């Protein structure tokens, strides 16, 4: 029995030590997103290997907190964050793949899949030899946006896991659904295609434009060309990503899209998004 008090004292000491650590991580805190305030509950956040959610969210883009001229709905805020997350996720995948292939070329016979996992692990822990600061910054931004998107979906009673499409299922009006179904299009697949194309133009990254293109890509207007592969899209990036087209696509909304059998006309005809076997992709860029 003489050991019992010592065990009790030891247990009390552990509980006191634990209580000194938990409140800082368990107390909810608030973040501003597009001028709206959202509560983040660290207890519901996924495990991040000891990193507090407050620290992870420090990597969010600074302009994310700025309020636009028109107050957005919660659904619009989520769509904007998911758009940024799709950009960061797509760029991260491509750069990790490039880094893994580069490592393969230096080490003949190495496993690309294993190299990708090793690079991802080093980015997650923030350690590892040869880490690129640019790649680490991209990973940190992706992780912060992913955590924020999860918490925004939670606040809207949506599944918190990132959807396979990259974007949460929207609430479409019966009229919009009927417009797409009249053309034998899946309105939700059309929506996901629209968001991916809009995000690619928003990024200003020709690699992402190439990723969302439904080949062949037609350039019409003053310049008429047909681009048949990724390399041709990358070579024409200055033409495709001109300010007028990017601005027209940025200002477009899914509700304002004109639909016909050819596909979706976006930004008053700046681009057409066309159907293919895997969904919808960029089919035409108008350079008038």
The reported pLDDT for the residue numbered 44 is 76
What does the pLDDT average to over 22-34? 76
Residue at which a domain ends, from 169, 188, 211: 169
Residues 35 and 113 in one domain: yes
131 within some domain: yes
Is 29 in the same domain as 164?
yes
**pLDDT in the model for residue 16:** 37
Residues 61 and 153 in one domain: yes
Within this chain, do residues 125 and 244 fall inside the same structural domain, yes or no? no
The predicted-structure confidence for 110-135, as pLDDT tens digits, reads as follows 677 888 898 998 998 887 655 689 99
The reported pLDDT for the residue numbered 125 is 86
Under DSSP, the state recorded for 2 is T
Pair 29, 86 in one domain: yes
Same-domain pairing of 251 and 275: yes
Q: pLDDT band at residue 265, thresholds of 50, 70 and 90?
A: very high
The answer to whether residue 66 scores a pLDDT higher than 80 is yes
Nearest by Cα to 143 from 41, 43, 47, 38? 47
Which domain, by its residues, includes 113? 23-169
* Both structure tokens of 140: 């940190």
Q: What is the pLDDT of residue 112?
A: 79
- Residue 7 falls within a domain, yes or no? no
CA distance 42 to 261: 47
For residues 158 and 247, state if they share a domain: no
Choosing from 169, 197, 214, the residue where a domain stops is 169
152 part of a folded domain: yes
Q: Considering only CA atoms, which of 18, 61, 62, 25 is closest in space to residue 40?
A: 25
Answer whether residue 8 is part of any domain: no
**Neighbouring C-alpha atoms within 13 Å toward the C-beta of 150:** 18
Same domain for 164 and 185, yes or no, is no
The residues facing 279 across adjacent strands are 276
pLDDT confidence band for 43 (50 / 70 / 90): confident
CA distance 5 to 240: 75
pLDDT value of residue 13: 43
Written as six digits, the tokens of 196 are 């991916």
**125 and 191 housed in the same domain:** no
Per DSSP, the three-state class of 227 is strand
**Angle subtended at Cα 218 by Cα 212 and Cα 223, rounded to the nearest 5 degrees:** 125
Q: Give residue for tokens 């207890």.
A: 43
Rounded to two decimals, the pTM is 0.86
Taking the alpha carbons at both ends of the chain, their separation in whole angstroms is 90
Q: Are 112 and 100 spatial neighbours (Cβ–Cβ below 8 Å)?
A: yes
Number of domains forming the structure of the chain: 2
Separation of alpha carbons 51 and 59, rounded Å = 13
Continuous segment of H or E residues that includes residue 40: strand 36-40
3 assigned to some structural domain? no
* In the predicted structure, residue 288 carries a pLDDT above the cut 90: no
Across 157-161, 263-267, 276-280, least confident range: 276-280
Domain assignment present for 227? yes
The pLDDT score that the predictor gives to residue 34 is: 95
Residue 12 lies in a domain: no
Domain assignment present for residue 159? The answer is: yes
**DSSP string for 237-262:** HHHHT-HHHHHHHHT--GGG-EEETT
**Does 107 score more than 80 pLDDT?**
no
Q: Which long-range contacts (CB under 8 A, 24 or more apart) does 23-28 make?
A: 24/52, 25/52, 25/53
Averaged confidence pLDDT in the chain: 88
Domain identity same for 44 and 156: yes
Q: Check pLDDT > 70 for residue 1.
A: no
């Amino acid at each position: 029995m003489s050991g019992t008090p010592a065990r009790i004292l030891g247990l009390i000491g552990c509980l006191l030590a634990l209580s000194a650590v938990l409140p800082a991580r368990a107390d909810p805190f608030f973040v501003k997103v597009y001028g709206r305030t959202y509560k983040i509950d660290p207890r519901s956040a996924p495990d991040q290997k000891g990193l507090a959610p407050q620290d992870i969210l420090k990597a969010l883009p600074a302009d994310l907190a700025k309020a636009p001229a028109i107050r957005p709905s919660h659904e619009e805020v989520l769509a904007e964050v998911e758009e940024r997350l799709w950009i960061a996720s797509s760029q991260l995948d491509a750069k990790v793949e490039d880094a893994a292939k580069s490592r393969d070329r230096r080490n003949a016979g190495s496993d690309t899949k294993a190299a990708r996992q090793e690079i991802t692990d080093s980015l997650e822990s923030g350690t590892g030899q040869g880490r690129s600061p640019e790649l680490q910054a991209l990973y940190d931004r992706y992780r912060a946006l992913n955590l924020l998107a999860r918490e925004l979906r939670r606040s809207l009673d949506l599944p918190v896991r990132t959807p396979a499409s990259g974007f949460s299922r929207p609430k479409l009006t019966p009229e919009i659904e009927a417009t797409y179904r009249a053309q034998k299009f899946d309105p939700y697949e059309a929506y996901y295609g629209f968001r991916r194309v809009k995000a690619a133009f928003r990024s200003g990254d020709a690699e992402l434009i190439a990723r969302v293109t439904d080949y062949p890509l037609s350039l019409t207007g003053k310049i008429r060309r047909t681009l048949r592969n990724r390399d041709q899209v990358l070579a024409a990036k200055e033409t495709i990503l001109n300010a007028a087209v990017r601005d027209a696509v940025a200002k477009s909304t899914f509700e304002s899209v004109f639909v016909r059998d050819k596909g979706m006309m976006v930004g008053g005809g700046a681009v057409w998004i066309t159907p293919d076997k895997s969904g919808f992709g960029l089919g035409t860029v108008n350079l008038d």
